[in-house]
Amino acid sequence: MATTMAANRPVHFALRALQLIFAIIVIGTDGYAIHVFRGHEVYEQFVYGNFYDYYGVPDAWGFLMFCAGWTFLGVIFLLIAGNRFADHRLIGYIRVAVEAVALLSWTAGFIASAINIGTNACPAQENHCRAITAATVFGALEMLLFVITTTLTFKLVFNGTRGRKTSKTSSDIPI
């Protein structure tokens, strides 16, 4: 299965294309949710004094946007590094690191934004909550795509399917 990523280029490109398409969908839906979100002020009463507190866009929504932007940079690097520098060991390790960071980012991003759905920041009847729900679902799908590609890249780099460097001396010389 590790060689499928190197040997079957159409599947590899299809997975990368889906990652880019899902990132575009997340940028669109998350950006719309951030745009239509209406922050509000709450009057807080404490023992030491009262004040107005402003509740703005939840941080998890911005982090989901960061994950989508990171995906663009990461996928472009992975496509270039996978095609041009496939035999370099250091580039292979960097590819695994980029895949792992993207996988962990998407996992944290979609979980953090899923926690906000149905809370005071995102009541179910609000229009922007449907958009952030869609962004969260596509974030989860993006995470699943990165699970697949990270596993394939990890197997490709660490199982030694790349060509071993051997000596180029011939055995024609009598000893």
- Please state the pTM of the whole predicted model: 0.78
Residue 166 lies in a domain: no
Residue 174 lies in a domain: no
Residue 122 lies in a domain: yes
CB 139 within 8 A of CB 109: yes
pLDDT category, 86, cuts 50, 70, 90?
A: low
pLDDT tens digit sequence for 8-51: 788 889 999 999 999 999 999 999 988 888 776 777 888 888 88
What SS3 class is residue 134? helix
Percent of the chain with pLDDT over 70: 78
CB 103 within 8 A of CB 129: no
Domain coverage including residue 150: 8-158
Q: What average pLDDT does the segment 153-175 reach?
A: 65
Q: What average pLDDT does the segment 58-63 reach?
A: 90
Strand partners of residue 14 = none
Six token digits for residue 118? 């149905």
| Number of independent structural domains in the chain | 1
Q: What average pLDDT does the segment 63-73 reach?
A: 93
Six token digits for residue 167? 């000596």
**Alpha carbon distance 64, 66 (integer Å):** 5
Residue 57 lies in a domain: yes
Residue 90 lies in a domain: yes
Residue 164 lies in a domain: no
Q: What average pLDDT does the segment 155-175 reach?
A: 63
